[in-house]
Structure 1
Amino acid sequence: MSQTILYARVSTTDQNLEHQKSQAVAAGFHLDEVIADHGVSGVNTKLAERPEGKRLYDKLRRGDVLVVRWVDRLGRNYQDVTDAIRDFMRRGVVIRTVINNMTFDGATTDPMQEAVRDALIAFMAATAQAQAEATKEAQKAGIEASKGDPRKYRGRKPSYNRETLERVQAMLAEEASISAIARVTGLSRQAVLRIKDDPVKVETAMAKWAA
């Protein structure tokens, strides 16, 4: 019998396992099990090398569904994330995201559909790594700013939170129009364009204002 497993990675004190679980349930997922790694870097530690990440490789079987809030929970290293997703797909596992309910599987044999799927996976994995790199740079800048006035360092506070940003990024990956994204998220077209045109700068600003 197939099973649906939520994998959560809680790497910092401002992240919450229950929040990731409740989001999945609210999105309509019926979870058979929740597997979570705590205090583990998504940049430096591969999924297969994490204590609970290893369990995914042991437990998941053909027909199972792996649920993640977003691909950055699998990791923030482009190569590791893309390798992991492709490995699971080869095993016959379906990967689904809570945000925008995206689905990745190895069922299609049509080369065009495969190309679109792989491009989406690559975009999402690259975005996850960009987020990590931007956060690291913001932290470095924060150390320097602590010597003076932090307000000068932070700049203008973003008009959106992390969840809204991830939704915009997901819709951009699906090639939704700027107007449609603005309408769905409640952001201005200018804000959406800034996210599209300079994602690293956006991530840096988000990291600076993270509470």
Structure 2
Amino acid sequence: MVYGYIRVSSTDQNEDRQRIALFEKGVPPQNQYMDKQSGKDFNRPQYKKLVRRLKPGDLLYILSIDRLGRDYAEIQEQWRVLTREKGADICVIDMPLLDTRNGKDLMGTFIADLVLQILSFVAQNERENIHKRQAEGIAAAKARGVRFGRPPRPLPDNFDRMHHAWRSKKITLQQAAEACGMPAGTFYSAAVRFEKTI
């Protein structure tokens, strides 16, 4: 049997390029498995389902090694599971050297293993660079004064009065929060923010 695996990192990414590549290789739609998830690990429902179905002699197509995953050690381990434990062949479409049907002799295996190690290293390195660029972008945005998260909700009209009564120990924190229609923790956090502005 011939199977295909597709992975996109998020629900808004388009998988068409991968589907077209699998179609051109003759993978029927019912044998295509797709996860819309990060490649940081292999805890993906459709991937697990695919692995359970694979039998010795089956062929698995993926467009590129980073569609399989982006963790160096995990890619190596999954490659071993698929080819040695499951006995399936793998073809990485955009890297013809990573086709386990070719070169099953010692030299062919050595070259495929070497290419796999290099490409899985590149995939993990790219994932780390993505995280680094995201962190740098967030830091730069914060430095420009961009605020992240939900904007704070406006305080109720009686907040000032209830805050003063609570701070004057006329009522408890719970009573003040209830009078404002807020959970106690939210009231307290709002009080801390409020006190910084006065």
TM range (shorter): 0.5 to 0.7
The answer to whether the 8 A contact 1:82-1:122 is kept is yes
Q: 1:37-186 to 2 correspondence within 5 Å?
A: 37-38=35-36, 40-43=37-40, 45-46=41-42, 49-90=43-84, 91-105=86-100, 110-146=105-141, 147-148=143-144
Percentage of matched positions with identical amino acids: 28
In structure 2, relative to structure 1, the CA distance for the partners of 1:109 and 1:126 (3 Å cut) is: same
Normalised by the length of structure 2, the TM-score is: 0.64
Q: Larger RCO: Structure 1 or Structure 2 (Cα < 8 Å, ≥ 6 residues apart)?
A: 1
Unaligned runs of 5+ in 2: 146-198
Question: Secondary structure of 2:5's partner?
Answer: strand
- Structure 1 unaligned residues grouped into runs of 5+: 150-211
Task: Say which one has the larger Rg.
Answer: 2
Q: 1:36 aligns with which of 15, 31, 34?
A: 34
Which residue identity does 1:63 align to in structure 2? G
Distance change >3 Å, CA 65–CA 106, structure 1 → 2: closer
Amino acid at match of 1:139: Q
- Contact residue 9 and residue 36 of structure 1 kept, 8 A: yes
Q: Deviations over 1:146-196 (max 9, x none)?
A: 2349xxxxxxxxxxxxxxxxxxxxxxxxxxxxxxxxxxxxxxxxxxxxxxx
Change (3 A) 1:71 1:123: same
Deviation, 1:13, is 4.5
Q: CA RMSD in A?
A: 2.1
TM-score by length of 1: 0.60
